[in-house]
Amino acid sequence: MTAATLTAARPVVAAPARPRRLAVRAVQGGATAVVLAAVLHLRLDWAALRDLPSDLVRYLGLMFAHPDWSRLPYALEQTWVSVQMAWLGALLGVVVSTVLGVPAARGVGPWWLRLPLRAVFAVVRAVPEVIIAIVILTVTGLTPFTGALALAIGGVGTHARWTYETIEGVPPGTAEAVRAAGGNLFETARWGLWPAAAPELMSLALYRFELNVRTSAILGLIGVGGVGDLLTGYTQYRQWDAVGVLIVVVVVVTMAIDAVSGAIRRRITKGARARVVEGTE
Output the 3-class SS for 201-224: HHHHHHHHHHHHHHHHHHHHHHCC
- DSSP characters over 59-86: HHHHHHSS--GGGHHHHHHHHHHHHHHH
Determine contact, residues 85/150, Cβ cutoff 8 Å: no
| pLDDT for residue 9 | 55
Level-2 CATH architecture, domain 69-270: Orthogonal Bundle (1.10)
| pLDDT for residue 198 | 83
| Binned average pLDDT, 10 residues per bin, the chain of 281 residues | 56 63 81 84 74 83 86 89 91 92 85 92 91 87 87 92 89 74 75 81 89 85 82 86 89 89 83 57 50
CA-CA distances (angstroms) from residue 241 to 135, 226, 231? 34, 19, 11
| pLDDT for residue 3 | 54
Mention every residue, 6+ apart, whose C-beta is less than 8 A from residue 80.
none
User: Which contacts qualify for 68-77: CB closer than 8 Å, 24 or more apart?
Assistant: 68/239, 68/241, 68/242, 68/244, 68/245, 69/245, 71/242, 71/245, 71/246, 72/245, 72/249, 74/230, 75/227, 75/230, 75/242, 75/245, 75/246, 75/249, 76/249
What is the DSSP secondary structure assignment for residue 226, as one 8-state letter? S
Mention every residue, 6+ apart, whose C-beta is less than 8 A from residue 64.
244, 248
What is the DSSP secondary structure assignment for residue 10, as one 8-state letter? S
Determine contact, residues 102/191, Cβ cutoff 8 Å: no
Determine contact, residues 166/197, Cβ cutoff 8 Å: yes
Mention every residue, 6+ apart, whose C-beta is less than 8 A from residue 249.
72, 75, 76, 79, 227
At what angle are helices 52-64 and 240-270 packed, to 10 degrees? 90
| 45/3 Cα distance (integer angstroms) | 75
For residue 243, the tally of other CB atoms under 10 A from its CB is: 24
What number of residues does the chain have? 281
| pLDDT for residue 272 | 59
For residue 262, the tally of other CB atoms under 10 A from its CB is: 14
- Domain-wise residue ranges, the chain: 69-270
Nearest to 86 by CA among 253, 267, 271: 253
